[in-house]
Chains A and B, each alone.
Chain A
Amino acid sequence: MKQFRQIAERMAKVMLTLSGGVTSLAILLIIIFLFKEGLGLFNSAAVENGYALCIHSSNPTQQLSPWQIKRIFDWEITDWSEVSEKKGEITPFRLDEIFAMYPEDEFGEDYELLPQKLGETIAQNPNIIAFLPEQYLPNGNQSVKVLPVENINIADFFGGKEWLPTATPSPQFGALPLIMGTLWVSFFAILIALPFGLGVAIYMSELAGTRTRKFLKPTIELLAGIPSVVYGFFGLVVLVPLIQRTLNLPVGETAFAGSLILAIMALPTIITIAEDAMRSTPRAMREASLALGATPWQTIYKVIVPHASSGIMAAVVLGIGRAIGETMAVLMVTGNAAVMLTSLFQSVRTIPATIAAELGEAPAGGAHYQSLFLLGCILFVITMIISASAEFIAKKDHNKGI
């Protein structure tokens, strides 16, 4: 009996130890899966999967970047001299154009003559660049060369200003507008929420009586408990039309609407942490200040707020963290245009909103799918930095107290 109990006890201990490691395991798995999928993007070619670019074999062009390919097919680069030593006007060519050149029956029953016809077309025009599916490549033809395409590189991803993940022939994965959009929307949210939250925190910790506090505390808890999709819905049906009407904008779905909703959502975080920090000011410090003849307001902004400054910093950092990762509310009110933000009253798209809006349509394993995971990695890294710095600030505060 005793032996049995000892074994049971040891088993229980092993179980407990194992579950102690479960959060660490979860983080590890998240890192592995996110980065495995995300970094795969840099191994995928810059043209759509299953397609290739062909040029005439006399063409000396060695390689084209995704950006160049996109601009060639958008008629923005029109001469070969802009991308290589070759001279002459570029003729972009897509598969469907071949069907306008020959009658349908010349391709054979299963399109088995299609590659041959494509080869002839390319051979006739030294200035051509053709975007073709790999299965119809004219492989035997001597005057056709398949152009090697660069992989998507890190600079394109972080520095590119165009996010067109479904463009053909060359999808553009420039994440800069999304990153900047996220940062700006969160930044303005905190700009609104910080003075507001700080004011409420001061009121709660210094001015309000016990009864008011008893009422305010649950209010803030309730505000924190409202699901983000409800905030988004509220923003969509109330704030967006309101902003559109009062500011006379063509659309109300703007970065400003997003910042406003995020500010409301970040308020509970900021208020709770800032209030805790201010409450922890030692009584002796307050009384010393008051005894020296300072008014309560002078005591607040000369003694209590400076003493609580690192707590307030932590509140700001965590508020930003909440705002950056927020998905649904932002997705519903910002209009989701993936462009560089030039004004606050313009549609914008953030990283979480992009993931939520596009992952459903991206085929698993493709470049688009991988790029969304890479965005997830960015988000993950940003929030890790944020929680680490909040921890660091809190620790510094602790040391100061001693």
Chain B
Amino acid sequence: MNKKTKQKIAFSIFRLLGLLIIGILFWILGFIIYNGIGVISWEFLTAAPTEGMTSGGIFPAIVGTLCLVAGSVIFAFPVGVMSAIYMNEYAGNGWIVRFIRIMTNNLGSIPSIVFGLFGMALFVNTLGFGDSILAGSCTLGLLVLPLIIRTTEEALKAIPNSYRTGSLALGASKIQTIRKVVLPMAFPNIITGLILSIGRVSGETAPILFTVAAYFLPKLPTSIFDQVMALPYHLYVIATSGTDIEASRPIAYGTALVLITIVLLMNLLATTLRRYFGRKVKTN
């Protein structure tokens, strides 16, 4: 076989694989959209589950997921942004920053089920929060902290140093420089990180299994010490252990569609924002 034929074969295989991966994505998305779209209705989105979760809607699960997203972001976003500011603006390049960076990477690589274990041991049992929105939000917040730190750091790094030195030369203090020059410029990219972490939090199941998620709870939460239902856990429950799995399949498809729509919309929004502002900063 001469080298031209070999190349042709190899390249067509790669092309095929490239097509195949697009095919996989469309297969998964298409399957869920095709089966789920018929289930989606106003009632499905605004009613509580009824008849052993084989009919009715998923409203409590949507509200629960929103609570968890809000809770974890309130906790993780300020801490993550401040941590990134410290690493990028204050700490220089010594061993401390290297250590913190390694720790952040490590935290990001810990499997989500370990966060679940940890959340149960610390927040639920030791601190006595019980199975509650508070415990679940703290656990999820820790989970997305590395993501927020990493995106914020990238956003800060993208700002040319001349802006900082210029501000300092005009007599502004370090904090003033950060607040008035660095943060406003980095803001769009920091928000991108926030949106990405919202997407991540709304899809996580393992960390909330033992810290907040309720199997079935038609009423809405009234305080941060309440349990809630959540979309991913709801999908897991009705897909595997409902009272009547066959009858609840349509509900499962609908839940999967709602979940995937939220998560992918967030991702899409983040990429669009990044592209838009990336271009804007460049043309400046």
Does A1 interact with chain B (Cβ within 8 Å)? Answer: no
Alpha-carbon distance A134/B252, docked complex (angstroms): 47
Interface of B (DSSP majority class): helix
Looking at the complex, which of B38-46, B50-58, B84-92 is the stretch in contact with chain A?
B84-92
The answer to whether B6 touches A222, judged by C-beta atoms less than 8 angstroms apart, is no
Does B28 interact with chain A (Cβ within 8 Å)? Answer: yes
Does B154 interact with chain A (Cβ within 8 Å)? Answer: no
Residue pairs across A and B with Cβ atoms less than 8 A apart, 24 shown, are A23-B103, A24-B99, A27-B106, A27-B107, A34-B114, A199-B13, A203-B18, A207-B11, A216-B18, A221-B267, A222-B264, A225-B199, A226-B263, A227-B204, A227-B260, A230-B235, A233-B236, A238-B31, A295-B6, A298-B7, A301-B10, A327-B206, A328-B205, A360-B209
Give residues 289-307 of A contacting B (CB, 8 Å): 295-298, 300-301
Contact of B239 among A19, A236, A384, A387 (CB under 8 A): A236
Count of chain B residues with a beta carbon within 8 Å of a chain A beta carbon:
86
Alpha-carbon distance A50/B181, docked complex (angstroms): 65
Looking at the complex, which of A9-17, A82-90, A151-159, A164-172 is the stretch in contact with chain B?
A9-17
The answer to whether B236 touches A326, judged by C-beta atoms less than 8 angstroms apart, is no
Besides A228-B206, A359-B120, 9 more A-B contacts (Cβ < 8 Å) are: A16-B82, A26-B107, A26-B142, A221-B267, A327-B113, A328-B206, A373-B117, A387-B105, A391-B105
Alpha-carbon distance A33/B139, docked complex (angstroms): 14
Q: What residue of chain A has the Cβ atom nearest to residue B210's Cβ?
A: A359
List residues of chain A with CB within 8 A of the CB of B271.
218, 221
Looking at the complex, which of A64-72, A104-112, A115-123, A375-383 is the stretch in contact with chain B?
A375-383
Does B146 interact with chain A (Cβ within 8 Å)? Answer: yes
Contact of A200 among B17, B106, B202, B232 (CB under 8 A): B17
Alpha-carbon distance A228/B256, docked complex (angstroms): 11
The answer to whether A24 touches B31, judged by C-beta atoms less than 8 angstroms apart, is no
Contact of A326 among B111, B117, B210, B233 (CB under 8 A): B111
Interface of A (DSSP majority class): helix
Looking at the complex, which of B121-129, B161-169, B186-194, B218-226 is the stretch in contact with chain A?
B121-129
The answer to whether B236 touches A200, judged by C-beta atoms less than 8 angstroms apart, is no
Given contacts A203-B17, A324-B111, contact A23 B3 (CB under 8 A): no
List residues of chain B with CB within 8 A of the CB of A219.
21-22, 25
Given contacts A216-B18, A236-B239, contact A23 B7 (CB under 8 A): no
List residues of chain B with CB within 8 A of the CB of A13.
90, 175
Does A37 interact with chain B (Cβ within 8 Å)? Answer: yes
Contact of B21 among A223, A232, A356 (CB under 8 A): A223
Given contacts A20-B87, A216-B22, contact A203 B14 (CB under 8 A): yes
Q: Shortest beta-carbon distance, B73 to chain A, in Å?
A: 15
Alpha-carbon distance A271/B209, docked complex (angstroms): 30
The answer to whether A356 touches B17, judged by C-beta atoms less than 8 angstroms apart, is no
Contact residues of A with B, CB < 8 Å?
5, 8-9, 12-13, 15-17, 19-24, 26-27, 29-30, 33-34, 37, 196, 199-200, 202-204, 207-208, 212, 215-216, 218-223, 225-234, 236-238, 264, 267, 271, 295-298, 300-301, 318, 321, 324-328, 332, 352, 355-356, 359-360, 364, 372-373, 376, 379-380, 383-384, 386-387, 391
Q: Shortest beta-carbon distance, B196 to chain A, in Å?
A: 9
Alpha-carbon distance A387/B267, docked complex (angstroms): 25
Alpha-carbon distance A218/B275, docked complex (angstroms): 12
The answer to whether B121 touches A34, judged by C-beta atoms less than 8 angstroms apart, is yes
Q: What residue of chain B has the Cβ atom nearest to residue A30's Cβ?
A: B118
List residues of chain A with CB within 8 A of the CB of B260.
226-227, 230
Does B116 interact with chain A (Cβ within 8 Å)? Answer: yes
Contact of A17 among B10, B90, B110, B125 (CB under 8 A): B90
Contact of B126 among A5, A33, A297, A360 (CB under 8 A): A33
List residues of chain B with CB within 8 A of the CB of A318.
109
